[in-house]
């Protein structure tokens, strides 16, 4: 059983503290510094055996004390081998971009508070995604589609998104958007970031106005999982070579099914249930979780 521990931190004392903890509990490890910068330092420890449960508890306790001393994320991966990622799938809203597109449309239409409340409830897992999607879309009936381009241009990418995608492409990773949002936006952001595929929901319109309906299957949590599996199998990649990244409850199935599932700046429910999470750094921090160093990156 192989194990790797990746530490993303701003507290200079933590690498030595983690090394001392591993040594004191008898865990044999080989540390490597992956990045050294004011915005993010990264270290990774490679271990030839699984980490004992009591060591995991001590590690969690050590890094939980970071609230007043700095900012730290850590990812403990355990598997048969280190993951050499070949397929990376991403949620779009609040993961690749700094917005929930449905909410942006709603604020433009003057019904922002109504739709934001439904969105927040769905992301917390309180409302079924399909039901919340239909309710929100129905409220947008009659929306003027001439404003879509302006809304797209106003949305900012998540910090680190461009650096992440540039380097994933360099590493030969297939990058895919799996979004419960809309194709008008997902297709454009995928092209902008150099990603190979985007799967999302169409915006159905008549006479330049949204119908408020959708006539195809909604891309929900189940469909995200299906697409992850289909794309992986199509290319013959094992589960261990897949990474999934998202922030909402509807991302949990694909996070759990990927070799490396990472909740990114996620809601508390998602952090609790996801295999791993990164909550304090940009998307490019995932490059270090994959074991890449600054020397490998462009």
93 is catalytic: yes
Q: Please identify which of the residues 20, 54, 73, 93 carries the catalytic annotation.
A: 93
Which of 77, 83, 59, 79 has the alpha carbon at shortest distance from 9?
59
With CA atoms as reference, report the closest residue to 243 among 261, 225, 268.
Answer: 261
Task: DSSP letter for 28, please.
Answer: -
**294 included as an active-site residue:** no
Residues pairing with 89 in the sheet: 176, 244
* Nearest in space to 210 (alpha carbons), one of 218, 219, 200, 202: 202
Catalytic residue among 91, 103, 220, 284: 91
Exposure string over 163-179, b if 16+ CB within 10 A, otherwise e: bbbebbbeeebbbbbbb
| SS percent in the chain: helix, strand, coil, step 5 | 45, 25, 35
Are the C-beta atoms of 245 and 123 separated by less than 8 Å? no
The three-state secondary structure class of 67 is helix
As annotated, the active-site residues are 91, 93
């Amino acid at each position: 059983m192989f194990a790797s521990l990746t530490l993303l931190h701003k507290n200079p004392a933590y690498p030595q503290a983690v090394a001392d903890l591993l040594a004191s509990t008898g865990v044999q490890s080989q540390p490597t510094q992956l990045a050294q910068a004011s915005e993010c330092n990264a270290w990774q420890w490679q271990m030839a055996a699984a980490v004992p449960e009591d060591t995991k508890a001590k590690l969690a306790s050590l890094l939980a004390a970071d609230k007043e001393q700095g900012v730290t994320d850590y990812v403990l991966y355990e598997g048969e081998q280190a993951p050499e990622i070949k397929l990376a799938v991403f949620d779009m809203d609040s993961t690749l971009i700094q917005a929930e597109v449905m909410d942006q449309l709603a604020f433009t239409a003057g019904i922002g508070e109504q739709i934001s409340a439904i969105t927040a409830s769905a992301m917390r897992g309180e409302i079924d995604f399909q039901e919340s999607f239909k309710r929100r879309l129905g409220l947008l009936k009659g929306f003027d589609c001439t404003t879509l381009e302006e809304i797209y241009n106003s949305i900012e990418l998540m910090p680190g998104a461009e650096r992440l995608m540039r380097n994933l492409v360099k590493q030969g990773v297939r990058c895919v958007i799996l979004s419960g949002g809309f194709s008008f936006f997902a297709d454009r952001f995928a092209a902008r970031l150099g990603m190979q595929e985007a799967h999302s929901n169409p915006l159905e319109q008549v006479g330049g106005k949204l119908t408020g309906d959708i006539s195809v299957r909604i891309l929900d949590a189940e469909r995200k999982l299906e697409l992850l599996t289909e794309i992986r199998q199509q290319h013959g990649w094992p589960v261990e070579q897949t990474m999934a990244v998202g922030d909402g409850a509807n991302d949990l199935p694909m996070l759990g099914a990927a070799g490396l599932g990472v909740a990114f700046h996620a809601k508390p429910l998602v952090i609790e249930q996801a295999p791993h999470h990164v909550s304090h750094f940009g998307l490019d921090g995932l490059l270090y979780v994959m074991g890449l160093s600054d020397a490998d990156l462009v």
